Each structure stands twice: as C-alpha cells, then as structure tokens.
Amino acid sequence: MTAKFLQLMSSDTSRAMQADSGSRTTYAAMEGRAGESHDVLTPNEVAFIEARDSFYMATVTPDGWPYVQHRGGPKGFLRCLGSRRIGFADFRGNRQYMSAGNLAESNRVALIMLDYVARRRLKLVGHASRVTAADDEGTVRQLMPEGHKAMPEAAVVIDVVAFDWNCPQHITQRWTAAEIEQIVENEQ
C-alpha cells in the first residue's frame, strides 16, 4: 500500500484497530514513507487501466452515502490522459444521473478495476469532473472509443490523487466467453 493512499484512507479508529490486531507496526512503517510519491501513473498502471473493459466507480451523495456504479465498454474505453489523469466517454445510459448529480456536489471518486484472469486489482481515488462537448469537445472526442458513431453525452475526467494495488488473495478467477474460446483455440 502506498503512503499517500494509506494516509487518505486511514483514520484514528482504523489505526487503533490495527494496534489491537497487532498489525499497526507494519502500517506505521508504510506511513513513514510519506515523502514517497506513488500517485504518478507508470507504464504498468497505464497498461492495466487501458486494458479494462469495465470498472466500478463510487461517488458520494450530498448526505454522505456512497453510490457505486459499474461502468463498461470496449477494452480501452478508460484512457490515461497523462501521468495523473484518466477519463472515459459518458454515453447516455438509464437516465438516472446518480453519479453525474453526485459529481456536481462533490468531485471525489473512487474506482476499482479488476483483472479477474490475472487476479489483479487497482484501487484509485481522485477528483472528477464531467465535461460536455460544449465545454471541451476535443477532450470528449479524445475519449470516444474507436468504432462508436454516437457522440457521448459528456466525458468524465479524473485527476488521480492516489492509487493502490491489492493482493490477489480473494479475487476469484473468471474468464469471458471470448477468452475461453481463445484458450480452446490455442490448445488445438
């Protein structure tokens, strides 16, 4: 766990619980690396992010409740726009506008991205903004997945604050039908 992510996600209560369970020394050592900056997306994170075909995004309601939404699209629809910025095209969905409304109130988001086959998970927190074509048509077009003809309703751009890779211990391996077909084809 990176020092920045740990700093943002820890509380006095979680630290006390770590002390009670005997793990506080380990977490204190990680917190001691606070000068290390691990919030820059390296080629490893960029490759992982841009290979995703889905992720989960949490926003916060004005009353403080988390709202988690699954987002999906073709591989590569989530794109890196720099060493601390990612984004995706926001196509018209079910017209609930829960995430969009929450972002208008608080720009804090958390994303969880999974690679079920490799049992890898990346958690990312940042500040998001919803950008319409009228605001910045270039960014919206840049985030359009290849082959899509319809202009997205908007784009969501996220300035990365911190991220953390998690251990694979409890990630169940899963394959898509296309991945299974490829495995079978390679075996023949």
pLDDT at 38: 62
Residue 2 and residue 9: Cα distance in Å, rounded? 11
The pLDDT of residue 81 is above 90: yes
pLDDT at 35: 60
pLDDT at 170: 85
Q: Region 88-107: what's the mean pLDDT?
A: 87
Domain ranges, ordered by start, for the chain? 1-36, 39-175
Q: What is the mean pLDDT of the chain?
A: 89
Name every residue whose Cβ is closer than 8 Å to that of residue 187 and which is 6 or more positions away in sequence.
none
Please state whether 82 falls in left (phi above 0), alpha (psi between -120 and 50) or beta: left
Task: Convert the pLDDT of each residue in 136-186 to its tens digit.
Answer: 989 988 999 888 877 788 899 999 999 999 888 888 888 888 888 988 999
The yes or no reply on domain 39-175 and CATH 3.60.21.10 is no
Q: Region 86-91: what's the mean pLDDT?
A: 92
The pLDDT of residue 80 is above 70: yes
Name every residue whose Cβ is closer than 8 Å to that of residue 7 and which is 6 or more positions away in sequence.
31, 34, 162
H helices then E strands: how many in the chain? 7, 7
Task: Check: CB of residue 140 under 8 Å from CB of residue 133.
Answer: yes
pLDDT at 94: 63
The structure tokens listed for 58 are 């949490």
Task: Convert the pLDDT of each residue in 11-70 to its tens digit.
Answer: 899 999 999 999 999 888 887 776 655 678 999 999 999 999 999 999 999 999 999 999
